[in-house]
Amino acid sequence: MTNFVKRPTRPGGRSTSSGGWPKATAPRIKEMLRVDHAGEYAAVAIYDAQAKVFGRSPKTRQIAKQLAHMRDEEQEHLDAFDDLLRANNTRPTALIGLWKFASTGLGTITALMGEKAAHACTEAVENVIEQHYASQIEETKDSHPELCATFTKFREDELRHRDTAIAHGAKQAPAYPLLTKVITAGCKTAIKLSEKI
């Protein structure tokens, strides 16, 4: 089994499970941590932007609240990967600024298109993320059970986000097929780039 440090106990950052930094977390594990950190960072930015747009009107207060709750759950995921990056001596993607810009833009535009478009965005993003976690679960289930358990827990949250979006009319969004296609392609490209860069 390759060296890997599970999420350390905050504060302090250092893992208590191995008594210090791992000498060599496997490159593939580093890729996984880096891309997952980027994905959660983007998810926080998308939901935050959408919640802000909807939060401006009392008529859309309900969806603003729902999106803010999802943002808070994504923030918990992001915090976990922040810790894991630190504990495994792994840098975040160099593209983090670009993802912040793109995700905020995506969240803002889809929210301005209306509630159903915002839900369609959630469905598309969460679909890609849950599939991504599913493949990481398969890849780590034997070699890194603790990491696999984290992926499994987060995937369940993403599935719940996706199902909530569908239940609230994602598929009735204007230009749903195009919107879904563009967002899905964007997410898949971002995943590929964030693993390596």
Nearer to Fe ion, 123 or 158 (CB): 158
Tell me the closest approach of the beta carbon of residue 45 to Fe ion, in angstroms: 12
Structure tokens at 16: 């208590």
Nearer to Fe ion, 83 or 158 (CB): 158
Q: Residues in the site for Fe ion, rule: CB under 5 A?
A: 40, 43, 74, 77, 158, 161
Structure tokens at 22: 């791992």
Q: How does DSSP assign 95-137, residue by residue? A: THHHHHHHHHHHHHHHHHH-HHHHHHHHHHHHHHHHHHHHHHH
Helix or strand or coil: residue 86? Answer: helix
Tell me the closest approach of the beta carbon of residue 18 to Fe ion, in angstroms: 26
Tell me the closest approach of the beta carbon of residue 19 to Fe ion, in angstroms: 30
Nearer to Fe ion, 77 or 86 (CB): 77
Tell me the closest approach of the beta carbon of residue 20 to Fe ion, in angstroms: 29
Nearer to Fe ion, 31 or 79 (CB): 79
Rg (CA), the chain: 17
Q: How many beta carbons lie within 10 A of that of residue 114, not counting itself? A: 16
